[in-house]
Amino acid sequence: MSAGSPHGANVTKEPSPRLWPGDIYDALKRADVKQVAYVPDAGHKELILQCQADRDMTAVSLTTEQEGVAMLAGAWLGGDRGALLMQSSGVGNCINMLSVPVHCRMPLLMVVTMRGEWGEFNPWQLPMGQNTERVLHDIGVYVQRATAPDEVGQVVYAAAQLAFSSNCQVAVLLSQRLLGFKDWSK
């Protein structure tokens, strides 16, 4: 008999809701982020919805990640703080554009959901997923990682403080373990 089941049926518990997207949203609010650029991503879905619902934030859907780098440079020049949400594969798409904030000493906060790590099913995600941190370091971006749900909000807030107080570029890499394992074998 399964625990919690009076008739011996297999009971599958619904996964508990992920709380860390709300922690990221709270960190962005505390850091006074006004503009959020994103390429639609299932890993950022809850966070994107919160940003879209906030009347004090402008959330802009992009067709490619490098547009977000340019958009947030413009936001900074116009007096707003911003954040770029993307997957690790998107880092490869915007690497050339990252030279703008690096050389112009503009702050850039990136929140990156990792692919190509634990539980990956798509082999095309492996090359960039395995090299995201190194590629960002090589161009001069400070990289911080969040691997446990209870640390995500603090890591994002600390990264925002570093980016906006030092005019530097900071990427927070959200471990694929935070997103969960996708079992496509069934």
Answer with the residue of higher pLDDT: 101 or 119.
Answer: 101
Q: 3-class DSSP state for residue 108? A: strand
Q: What is the pTM of this model?
A: 0.86
Tell me the pLDDT band of 7, cut-offs 50, 70 and 90.
very low
Q: What is the pLDDT of residue 145?
A: 95
Tell me the pLDDT band of 127, cut-offs 50, 70 and 90.
confident
Q: Is the pLDDT of residue 63 over 90?
A: yes
Q: What residue segments make up the domains of the chain, in order of their start?
A: 32-176
- Rounded mean pLDDT of 18-22? 86
Reference 178, options 6, 8, 7, 15; nearest CA is 15
Which tokens is 53 given? Answer: 């619902």
Portion of the chain with pLDDT greater than 90, in percent? 69
Tell me the pLDDT band of 179, cut-offs 50, 70 and 90.
confident
Q: Which helix (H) or strand (E) holds 113?
A: strand 108-113
The phi and psi torsions of 111 (rounded to 5 degrees) equal -115, 115
Q: What is the pLDDT of residue 126?
A: 66
How far apart, in Å, do the first and last CA atoms of the chain sit? Answer: 24
- Rounded mean pLDDT of 35-63? 96
- Rounded mean pLDDT of 19-37? 96
Instruction: Give the Cα-Cα-Cα angle 64, 60, 66 (nearest 5 degrees).
Output: 25
* Torsion sign (Cα): 141, 70, 123, 24: positive
Q: What is the pLDDT of residue 161?
A: 98
Q: What is the pLDDT of residue 182?
A: 63
CATH of 32-176, one of 3.90.1010.10, 1.10.10.60, 3.40.228.10, 3.40.50.970: 3.40.50.970
Q: Is the pLDDT of residue 57 over 50?
A: yes
In which residue are the tokens 């990264």 written?
159
- Rounded mean pLDDT of 38-56? 95
Q: What is the pLDDT of residue 186?
A: 61
